[in-house]
A and B are shown apart, each in its own frame.
Chain A
Amino acid sequence: MRVALFATCVNDALFPATAVATVRLLERLGVDVDFPPEQSCCGQPQYNTGYRRACEPLVRRTARAFAGYDHVVTPSGSCVAMVRDNYPRIGAKAATEGRGTGLADAALGLAPRVYELTEFLTDVLGVEDVGAYFPHTVTYHPSCHGLRVLGLGDRPLRLLRAVKGLELRELPGADECCGFGGTFAVKNAAVSAAMAEDKLANALGTGAQVLCGADNSCLMHLGGTLRRRGEALRPLHLAEILASTEDDPWRAA
């Protein structure tokens, strides 16, 4: 099976280990992974800040970069939500503004082929035990877009429960937002920080060693707060846990 990796701009530039882990995990499961280099950003930060027109070139670029792939997999729920929910809206608005249906066609052509990593694993590959080994205590924060827009449900937890050596600790108030929210983190910094504080109090209360998530932008916000406070709790993307094996275990960078 030939699959395109949509690494996302945040992972490409700031968290390459997550993208590398995604590649290794998928390859281990027998997937032939490709990385179309024309890809860049899905346009979510621009769109969610109110610059819809500014992300139209990125809609076109993303659709072009992944043309011809049956499956596009990305380790970021919020970028999938952007493509699935907002690309068709952007296309439809362009059409109502009299700028043709090209953008809408591109959006609708791409959206159904894009999968969040845990969806791809459980729904397309049909696996829950990916053969991973991770001998640490872990608590899982389900990011809002994965939880509510994509409806990932317990997919990430099912994958984590099947990891050998991993002890899962339930996160109280798991479905509450961590306070990242893209430019919200800067425009409403005080509220964003207060939300992170409460989320981290819950995470630290579990006593887990690792705070796992499936969206590095949320982990960047929570991890940045943890580091500022000198906490030992380590934020880590789910892909890196699933890529870890007994032969090649995860090591802190």
Chain B
Amino acid sequence: MTGTFLGMPAFPQAAERAVRDGQLRANLRHATHTIRDKRARAVAELPDWAELRAAGKAIKDHTLRHLDRYLVQLEESVTAAGGTVHWAADAEEANRIVADLVHATAETEVVKVKSMATQEIGLNEALAAEGITAYETDLAELIVQLGDDRPSHILVPAIHRNRAEIREIFAERMADWGRPAPEGLTDSPAELAEAARLHLREKFLRAQVAVSGANFMVAETGTLVVVESEGNGRMCLTLPRTLISVVGIEKVVPTWRDLEVFLQLLPRSSTAERMNPYTSLWTGTTAGDGPSEFHLVLLDNGRTAVLADQVGRQALRCIRCSACLNVCPVYERAGGHAYGSVYPGPIGAILTPQLRGTTSPVDASLPYASSLCGACYDVCPVAIDIPEVLVHLRERVTEQGGHPMERAAIAAAGYVLDHPALLTAAERLAGRTRALHPRRLPGPGRAWTDTRDLPEVPAEPFRDWWRKNRP
């Protein structure tokens, strides 16, 4: 069977490797089930969750319908508050802008707050090529960076690692990046967190430039919001002289009041908390408090193409909570790396093919990386109908003519199904020859019969029973 037959390229193969990795499956199962139950309890505390969700959806949709207007308003507000706004059409331009801003400070190090946008554009690699070292300061990002690994979850990029693996990475690699891990480090989460605190503190205290993303930007006031837990965000947003925030254009909300919806939806959906430990809100610069220089880089990088698709654009409502990953049965077994993108899980399966297109094998396979069970839609705090978008994108994949055999089979089946006489004949033929049916199929059918028996074909179809018994 060729790689493209029945649309079976990258995701299925990567997922199959993950499924066979018992340690990975155990790690993912433990972590996703822990957070799943907690989220359900945190959400159940609010009797008006459905109304909050409807409001979150409506605010985002409204914003997207007037995105040009709100971005211009945001630019005015941020500028009036002492910030500088830059516009980046793609990843390359965003990376160029950030590198130039860092060069202008004459620094060669930056500390980073966890940010999906900067991962999406490969900022760390681009800065490294310019002689600038970017230190990730979120605990999970640190684990990924020290382990030369890739993130596998939006909220908890090292979810694929358990405590023993994390201990090993810290013990072996921290010394290469700065302060070594304490002697005799155990795998207790508290000790691991302490090791990260000590390792990063020296970096926070000397950093002059920080790079962040943002969870929300308020057009009306020019306020940016970063939601976090550890305090590394506060360190980066407060201590350095220069702050550069790279933020996707879809992160804007119209008004200060709109935060009342999202600051209720996000913490309960992501970390299953009533409120996350720290939320930082800043508007431009403040004399004597925090960075004296603030740059906002507004990033397109494919978002306007998503906006152009009337079904697919709902993916731009996403607030990156990861609730959909945590409930997804496919993510739980395939792991985040199989999605071949910084955006894994159900949201990644609809966002990545829209941002990058559906031409590469992995991107064309992502819309199929779902059983369409709908658990993601149920938990999404902004009601993104992920199954609807998945099917919509499958149509895009089939239209580019990727699966000729499948297309032919669908056409043949369609003809038979639209001609009941033919259908009846086929059913009867199957019934008469059922003693000859094999248990295991060759070719693409093997994918079914490798682990499952085929159903036994009955002696007669229901149609014939009806004809005989209810004449």
List the B side residues contacting A182 at CB < 8 Å. Answer: 371-372
Whole-angstrom distance between the alpha carbons of A192 and B418 in the complex? 30
- Verify B414–A37 contact, CB threshold 8 A: no
Binary CB contact string for chain B from 442 to 457 against chain A (1 if under 8 A, 0 otherwise)? 0011011011111101
Q: What is the minimal beta-carbon distance from A8 to any residue of chain B, in angstroms?
A: 9
A237 at the interface (CB under 8 A from B): no
B268 at the interface (CB under 8 A from A): no
- Secondary structure call for the B interface: helix
List the B side residues contacting A9 at CB < 8 Å. Answer: 417, 423
Which listed residue (A39, A144, A194, A227) contacts B372, Cβ 8 A? A144
Q: Which of B375-430 contact A (CB under 8 A)?
A: 375, 377-378, 388, 391, 393-399, 406-407, 410-411, 413-414, 417-418, 420, 423, 427, 430
Residue in chain A with minimal CB distance to B16: A190
Interface size, chain B (Cβ < 8 Å): 65
- Verify A12–B461 contact, CB threshold 8 A: yes
Binds B, one of A43-51, A112-120, A154-162: A43-51
A52 at the interface (CB under 8 A from B): yes
Whole-angstrom distance between the alpha carbons of A175 and B373 in the complex? 10
Residue in chain B with minimal CB distance to A55: B414
Q: Which of B146-196 contact A (CB under 8 A)?
A: none
- Verify A16–B465 contact, CB threshold 8 A: yes
Which listed residue (B15, B330, B377, B455) contacts A223, Cβ 8 A? B455
With contacts A20-B462, A185-B448, A196-B451 known, is A12 near B427, CB below 8 A? Answer: yes
- Verify A228–B391 contact, CB threshold 8 A: no
With contacts A16-B458, A187-B7, A225-B451 known, is A195 near B12, CB below 8 A? Answer: no
Binary CB contact string for chain B from 336 to 376 against chain A (1 if under 8 A, 0 otherwise)? 00000000000000000000000000000001111111110
- Verify B444–A186 contact, CB threshold 8 A: yes
List the B side residues contacting A175 at CB < 8 Å. Answer: 375
- Verify B398–A195 contact, CB threshold 8 A: no
Residue in chain A with minimal CB distance to B464: A16
Q: Which of B6-24 contact A (CB under 8 A)?
A: 6-8, 11-12, 15-16, 19-20
- Verify B451–A191 contact, CB threshold 8 A: no
Most buried by A among B372, B454, B460, B461: B372
- Verify B420–A46 contact, CB threshold 8 A: no
- Verify A220–B455 contact, CB threshold 8 A: yes
- Verify B453–A228 contact, CB threshold 8 A: yes
B313 at the interface (CB under 8 A from A): no
The chain B residues found within 8 Å of chain A, CB to CB, are: 6-8, 11-12, 15-16, 19-20, 25, 329-330, 333-334, 367-375, 377-378, 388, 391, 393-399, 406-407, 410-411, 413-414, 417-418, 420, 423, 427, 430, 444-445, 447-448, 450-455, 457-458, 460-463, 465-466, 470
Q: What is the minimal beta-carbon distance from A16 to any residue of chain B, in angstroms?
A: 4
Whole-angstrom distance between the alpha carbons of A251 and B453 in the complex? 22
| Closest 6 pairs between A and B when the two form their complex, measured CB to CB | A181-B371, A50-B394, A224-B452, A177-B373, A190-B16, A16-B462
Residue in chain A with minimal CB distance to B6: A187
List the A side residues contacting B369 at CB < 8 Å. Answer: 188
List the A side residues contacting B8 at CB < 8 Å. Answer: 187
A250 at the interface (CB under 8 A from B): no
- Verify A58–B371 contact, CB threshold 8 A: no
Q: Which of A1-60 contact B (CB under 8 A)?
A: 7, 9, 11-17, 19-20, 23, 33, 35, 37-41, 43, 45-52, 54-55, 57-58
List the A side residues contacting B396 at CB < 8 Å. Answer: 50
Residue in chain A with minimal CB distance to B406: A49
- Verify A187–B368 contact, CB threshold 8 A: yes
- Verify A224–B454 contact, CB threshold 8 A: yes
Most buried by B among A50, A54, A58: A50
- Verify B410–A54 contact, CB threshold 8 A: yes
